[in-house]
Amino acid sequence: MHDLLEKPLGCTCFKLRKLTRAMSRLYDQHMATVGLKTTQYSLLVNAARAARPVAELADTLGMERTTLTRNLKPLLEAGFVVLMPGADSRQRIVTITPAGRAKVEQAYVVWRAAQTEFEKLMGRDAVRALNQQLETTMTQLGPLLEEAHHAHTE
């Protein structure tokens, strides 16, 4: 009960969203030179690793299927990915095309420049520590999200 009376540390969600918007702007400025957004680059990189069903790719990226479908649209229109039929008639497999692989190679150079710029600003040790803290937080948050999901579906 005492914990509830303590002053909150500030809204972590707000601070993280503000940070992610700023980080996205930094990376998007670099990605714009190759005609991509950071989210599109991330989708292409993950599609390049393996052809996967839409639902599986959405889980890997930590996003809703509807959001993934919306984000895939410009990549489909550009011919960087295609949706192949899966084992089930309703399933679609996100598959990168040769043009998509070429775009990943081109975009990697500018992604790397954005990453290097951030690492120089913050220092590699600080970035490593930040990445580790983010991974730890995601791991610890997982069960809480599962509990909330199950509470809504019951």
Q: What per-residue confidence (pLDDT) applies to 43?
A: 96
Q: Does domain 29-122 have CATH number 2.40.110.10?
A: no
**Token reading at 49:** 């690793």
Tokens 């990943």 — which residue? Answer: 104
Give the model's pLDDT for residue 147.
72
154 residues of the chain, pLDDT tens digit each: 556 678 878 899 999 999 999 999 999 999 999 999 999 999 999 999 999 999 999 999 989 999 999 999 999 999 999 999 988 888 899 999 999 999 999 999 999 999 999 999 999 999 999 999 999 998 998 888 777 656 655 5
Q: What is the pTM of this model?
A: 0.82
Cα distances (angstroms) measured from residue 148 to each of 57, 65, 140, 144, 152: 22, 18, 14, 6, 6
Residues 6+ apart with CB under 8 A from 24: 38, 39
CB 65 within 8 A of CB 34: no
Residue 145 confidence (pLDDT): 78
Q: What pLDDT, on a 0 to 100 scale, did the predictor assign at position 146? A: 76
The domain segmentation of the chain, as residue ranges, is 29-122, 123-154
Question: What is the predicted pLDDT for the residue at 112?
Answer: 97
Which pLDDT score is estimated for 148? 64
